[in-house]
Amino acid sequence: MAIPQQEGSLLRAPTDQKYATLERQPSSYKPLETFALEKEKHYQQQYGDMYFLRLTKLKPAVEKIAEEAWDGFQIAGETVRKVDRVLDVRQGELCWVAGTIYMEMPLKPNILDDISKDHWISAPPPRQKYLSPTGEDLTMLEDESGRLRLVGTPLANEMLVTGCIIAVMGTENSNGDFEVVDIKVPDLPPQTERWHTSSPPTNGTPRKKIKLDDDDDEDMDKPAPAGKKIAIVSGLGFSGTYSEHSLEINLLMEYLLGEALDSATQESVSQISRLIIAGNSIALNNEAVSHDTIGNTRKAHKKYGYDSSAYNPAPTAHLDNFLAALLPSMPITLIPGYTDPANVSLPQQPIHSAMFPQARTFGPMPPTDGQPKQTGWFDTVTNPFDGEIEGWKVLGTGGQNVDDVFKYVESEDRLGMLEAMCRWRCCAPTAPDTLWSYPFQDDDPFVINSCPHLFFVGSQPKFDTASIEGPDGQVVRLIAVPRFSETGEIVLVDSETLEASVVRISVS
Amino acid sequence: MADYKTYLASCILTEDKVITYRLLSRALKVHVNAAKEMLYDFHQKQNAKKPGTIHATYLLSGTKRPEDTIPLNGDAKKDGEDDYMQSSPFMNSSMPQLEGTGENSVLSITLVREEDLEDVRAQYEHISSIHIYSLEPHPLKDLQVLSDATRELQLLIANEDPLEIASKYGIISNKNVKRRAVRQLPTAAAAPVPAASASKVPVPTPAAKPKPESKAQPSTAKEFFGKGKEKTKTTTTTTTTATGNPSSKESTPAPGPATLKKESSSIFKSFAKAKPKLKREGTDSSVVEDSPMRDVDDEDEEETYVPPPQPSKEIVDSDRKARKEREEKLRRMMEEDDDDEVEVREEPKVKEIDVEKEKSVELEKEEKSVVTGGRRRGRRRIMKKKTVKDAEGYLGRFPFSFYKSLGY
């Protein structure tokens, strides 16, 4: 087999060449615990509080924007007037009001419906979209006083889902519906500079350095040559029943370890300072699910404790092997996703380290009294996750938030949803309506208070990226991370420019 | 350096194995890049001698031609941009800035059979790197079998510290890696730890942390609980054996004793017939209720080889007991209905003669427990344990010991 000589080819007889040892770039990493729940969780309280918390937090922001835009706005000689509450809107009067969107959709799952119709006999299959084909969907604006039905053409152009806070201008018509003329959203929240709470490498890039509270990550006082990368992968989909992409996962591991390919590639791989796993590392086991729906025919008698016939430990064991192989070479952040063994309602709490008997040796030490919690080399985090990586504020999710917004809107454009969430200042607006969520009582952590520099979501159908700008010069890099099990793609984000590129691994 | 040929020849040609560059590098303790070259060299020389004896898979990387990647949704990105522009104008301020992440920013890594290599090469615009991934004696039908090599590899390097081998094999090392100080098995604290729990811990670990394992540090109680299940398990099991109360709130340690208990009680079901006699013996129902209970426990523990219980202190334990008690009561009640009173009354005497031989054998063993039983159950006169074949026959297949009163 004659193969022409070319660069990067290792198709040659062995030489006595000494190979240089490659050293991986250090990672500057500071996770925040915005989405960590208390150990003691209460589920007695009502979800309604979340909406009011969100409204009180975001109303001032959207009102400010609306005021600037609509101040002195006139239609047919009538000047627009601000109304404080939804119920204060008077018929025929040009006004604007802020509130929470509520989408009334017949196809949306509705617990009251299910109970009243006794629909428990068989659960309906999950829907692709909640949108009604016949246009029976209603858009409403609500606040603590009441609800107002919105109509008008601007609604068609605007992406709206339950739970987002907006301001609308228009008049109430004779039907009692509000004719919308214009819509304003809170838009991007204020953005801090890079290296806001973490400090940059000392002799690294010449950037403005703001030291607020200086808790250095140990691995930060190293020079940071340009071109550092952060790898993001999602949907590894380890499964106990089929192994169709296990070779791809192995190749990914070899690539990230710097074993595959030639020296030049290995050198560039050493620039990858951290791996983020954004959800769905474990595949959904359809078999187990169908077992459950069959119900009591499943098993004659219940066994206490570990039942090896009902539980297949292979997927987590494989994931553990994968992590344990990579961890000696690179730090890993593990975000749970919909199919992962974490709680199902957002915010998902970190996957317990007991799942990873090997990988957890790289985890943080158990916190001792009086000592600040350490960040582990292997960090299992919440979903959504936020933190500072290489000084950038990063917000990432396992993808459920986008998948749920997707059901409300006609668009197939995932990046548009990401952008909309940033502009709504809410990273999970449909929680708690159709996205399962913890009933927060004192604070709605899904509200984005500080604009991230990088916002990524996992488990998306395809890779996509864009950069959006806010009114005050905020810049957000949006990335939709594809499912590795389907595309074989991982995303590399440049730590200086936040540009995203893709590595696609395939087996022909 | 030359012995790789012998190694490869024996593995591939003789043992019929698939050898990847990683396996070769681990086996010969060489750099992965050297291993790749060795594979190439061996492949060339062997096939020059005898074409077709060895087959190879190649790993290549580079940028693909755009047109070829359409089915792989690579180019969809371009379409995505358009979509995006359409639906985004609703947002007020700035338009999203889209930088084209064109095909040339995608690094494609493809693993391909030797047979398909040319086809795949044609799809590439630029190949930045190519090397042999594996050699095998037959063309691989399904490349996924190569993932088995990784599993084999894990066994091969199971005893090596991943942090130290890194540079030897060409893995990118990381000097910032933080590993937990390994506080392994609390061997000092836990006296004779049951083998099961002890063996469970180290099996998966050596791959990750064989080195520090040796310097297992003493562990305080607090650390114990912080460390998670593994350690807790060890402790609980120890206490379990010590007290003989197979109980704990943890679900993990439970299975062993619990399942055994289950089994034993289901076995017990089959000889529970004996119980009604006792009941009839007792005049005070409340006491009777209590005493058979102990019987159950005693026998259970004999089954599970756990020393006799101390009066239970733990709530869990008492819970379990209470439940058992209820079950037992129910069962007795049901069986009472079934039993023919007369028959039962007479049966023992007859049986005593029947099973005399067995009894004499058994008694030696059981004597002690009988005594204990007798001491504890003050109400009963003398208790003996013996094997009985039931008159009805269906119990006769299971000769079990049970307690019965001798003084009628």
Looking at the domain assignment, is residue A346 inside a domain?
yes
Measured CA angle at A166 (ends A163, A170), to 5 deg? 130
Which pLDDT score, from 0 to 100, does residue A100 have?
Answer: 92
pLDDT per residue over A326-336, tens digit each? 888 889 999 99
Residues B69, B46: one domain? yes
Instruction: Pick B113 or B401 by higher pLDDT.
Output: B113
Residues B392, B313: one domain? yes
> Which residue from A minimizes the CA distance to B258?
A304
Residues A144, A267: one domain? no
Q: Average of pLDDT values for B18-47?
A: 86
Residue A154, domain CATH: 2.40.50.430
Which pLDDT score, from 0 to 100, does residue A396 have?
Answer: 92
Residue B106: which of B61, B138, B55 has the closest Cα?
B61
Domain total of chain A: 2
pLDDT per residue over A464-482, tens digit each? 899 998 888 889 999 999 9
Do B314 and B244 meet the contact criterion of CB atoms below 8 Å apart? no
> Which residue from A minimizes the CA distance to B106?
A502
> What's chain B's average pLDDT?
59
Residues B165, B61: one domain? yes
Residues A158, A283: one domain? no
Domain total of chain B: 3
Residues B114, B213: one domain? no
CB atoms A504 and B108 under 8 Å = yes
Q: Average of pLDDT values for B369-377?
A: 46
3-class DSSP state for residue B106? strand
Which pLDDT score, from 0 to 100, does residue B43 have?
Answer: 87
**Beta-carbon pairs below 8 A across chains A and B:** 314
CB atoms B84 and A416 under 8 Å = yes
Looking at the domain assignment, is residue B95 inside a domain?
no
- List chain B residues with CB under 8 Å of A468: 94, 96-97
Q: Would you tell me how many other CB atoms lie within 10 Å of the CB of residue B111?
A: 22
Residues A142, A266: one domain? no
Do A55 and A144 meet the contact criterion of CB atoms below 8 Å apart? yes
> Which residue from B minimizes the CA distance to A412?
B83
Domain assignment of residue B203, given as a range: 195-243
Looking at the domain assignment, is residue A402 inside a domain?
yes
Residues B225, B316: one domain? no
Instruction: Pick B291 or A142 by higher pLDDT.
Output: A142
DSSP classification of residue A297: G
ipTM value > 0.90:
no
Residue A274: which of A12, A18, A29, A3 has the closest Cα?
A29
Looking at the domain assignment, is residue A488 inside a domain?
yes
**Where does the pLDDT of residue A14 fall: very low under 50, low under 70, confident under 90, or very high at 90 and above?**
confident
Q: What distance in Å separates the CA atoms of residue A492 and residue A319, rounded to the nearest whole number?
A: 21
Interface of A with B in 178-237 (CB under 8 A): 184-185, 187, 218-219, 222
Residues B234, B261: one domain? no
**Where does the pLDDT of residue B24 fall: very low under 50, low under 70, confident under 90, or very high at 90 and above?**
confident
> Which residue from B minimizes the CA distance to A15?
B34
Question: Distance (Å) from the C-alpha of residue B397 to the closest C-alpha of chain A?
Answer: 25
- List chain B residues with CB under 8 Å of A306: 251-252, 255
Half-sphere exposure for B367 (CA within 13 Å, toward CB): 5
Residues A493, A347: one domain? yes
Residues B24, B119: one domain? yes
**Where does the pLDDT of residue B200 fall: very low under 50, low under 70, confident under 90, or very high at 90 and above?**
very low
Residues A171, A204: one domain? no
Determine the residue type at B18. Answer: V
Which pLDDT score, from 0 to 100, does residue A335 have?
Answer: 92
Interface of A with B in 60-119 (CB under 8 A): none
Q: Over 60: is that where the pLDDT of B303 sits?
A: no
Tokens standing for B249?
């709130």
CB atoms B131 and A305 under 8 Å = no
Residue B27, domain CATH: 3.90.1030.20
Residues B284, B323: one domain? yes
> Which residue from B minimizes the CA distance to A256?
B172
DSSP sequence for A165-225: EEEEEEEE-TTS-EEEEEEE---PPP-PPSSSSS---TTSS------SS----GGGSS---
Residues B164, B300: one domain? no
Q: CB under 8 Å to A309, separation ≥6 — which residues? A: none
Looking at the domain assignment, is residue B89 inside a domain?
no
Looking at the domain assignment, is residue A317 inside a domain?
yes
Looking at the domain assignment, is residue A116 inside a domain?
yes
> Nearest by CB to A324, which of B61, B74, B207?
B207
Looking at the domain assignment, is residue B125 inside a domain?
yes
Looking at the domain assignment, is residue A9 inside a domain?
no
Residues B17, B137: one domain? yes
Asked if A254 has any chain B CB less than 8 Å from its own CB, the reply is yes
pLDDT per residue over B67-80, tens digit each? 544 444 434 444 43
Instruction: Pick B381 or A269 by higher pLDDT.
Output: A269
> What's chain A's average pLDDT?
81
Residues A367, A232: one domain? yes
CB atoms A21 and B180 under 8 Å = no
Looking at the domain assignment, is residue A320 inside a domain?
yes
Q: What percent of chain B has a predicted confidence (pLDDT) above 90?
A: 0
Residues A385, A244: one domain? yes
Lowest mean pLDDT among A85-89, A107-111, B257-261, B348-352: B257-261
Residue where one domain finishes, among candidates A135, A162, A184: A184
Taking the alpha carbons of B268, B271, B273, B279 in that order, is the dihedral positive or negative?
A: negative
Residues A251, A227: one domain? yes
Domain assignment of residue A72, given as a range: 48-184
Looking at the domain assignment, is residue B267 inside a domain?
yes
Q: Over 90: is that where the pLDDT of A233 sits?
A: yes
Looking at the domain assignment, is residue A13 inside a domain?
no
Residues B218, B163: one domain? no
Residues B401, B314: one domain? yes
Residue A375, domain CATH: 3.60.21.50
Residues A85, A169: one domain? yes
Residues A393, A499: one domain? yes
Q: What distance in Å separates the CA atoms of residue A85 and residue A144, rounded to the nearest whole number?
A: 8
